[in-house]
Chains A and B, each alone.
Chain A
Amino acid sequence: DGGITQSPKYLFRKEGQNVTLSCEQNLNHDAMYWYRQDPGQGLRLIYYSQIVNDFQKGDIAEGYSVSREKKESFPLTVTSAQKNPTAFYLCASSITVYNEQFFGPGTRLTVL
């Protein structure tokens, strides 16, 4: 069953803790992305990766970090430097950065 998986669906953390969100795809896509969505808002790009061992900052990269050690995996770490981390986080992938993106089911992060 091909697709994009994100885990967990819901995540709770205490303020000041780093937290890592998982994103895995078995579509053999080169490009992967992380977006943040706030209530009633559109999608804002955090980081994207065109290929393994490469990634670029998006519009709102501050307070976040990523790695791309494997083609199928693109984990996002929300650090304590992110001032307002509570949000819905979406991972996506595409064949290349010039192709349509497909999204995972999302992770809702709540920082208490």
Chain B
Amino acid sequence: GQQLNQSPQSMFIQEGEDVSMNCTSSSIFNTWLWYKQDPGEGPVLLIALYKAGELTSNGRLTAQFGITRKDSFLNISASIPSDVGIYFCAGLTGYGGSQGNLIFGKGTKLSVKP
């Protein structure tokens, strides 16, 4: 099936730092989505990207839909403690199959530097 390679798998942040993560695939997607999941909760949609090259912000978060439609990145500026959690990228295809239309990355876990 289709796969999304999300990196890094985990990272440690210090308050005030900027954070970057990305997703790549060999497949083309029509829409890129970024979710955040807190422990024991469902993922919450942060940003949706609908066009190749699109750059969208949501507060301190900025995400871009890659021009090739095969990748996307998420930046978090001036991180704060409540940014910790797991961030998932997801790509929407135009067809279903056993994976459905939405393909998920394996997540980037953000933790606070000890």
Contact = CB atoms under 8 A, between A and B. Distances in A.
Interface residues of A, number: 26
Contact of B31 (A43, A58, A90, A100): A100
Main secondary structure of the interface of B (DSSP, over half): loop
Contacts of B48: 100
Interface string A34-72: 000000011101001000000011110000000000000
A104 interface: yes
Contacts of B94: 98
Interface in A53-112: 56-59, 88, 90, 92, 97-106, 108
Interface of A: 4, 6, 33, 41-43, 45, 48, 56-59, 88, 90, 92, 97-106, 108
17 contacts: A4-B42, A33-B102, A42-B106, A43-B43, A43-B88, A43-B104, A45-B99, A48-B96, A57-B98, A58-B98, A58-B100, A59-B1, A59-B99, A100-B48, A101-B102, A103-B44, A103-B45
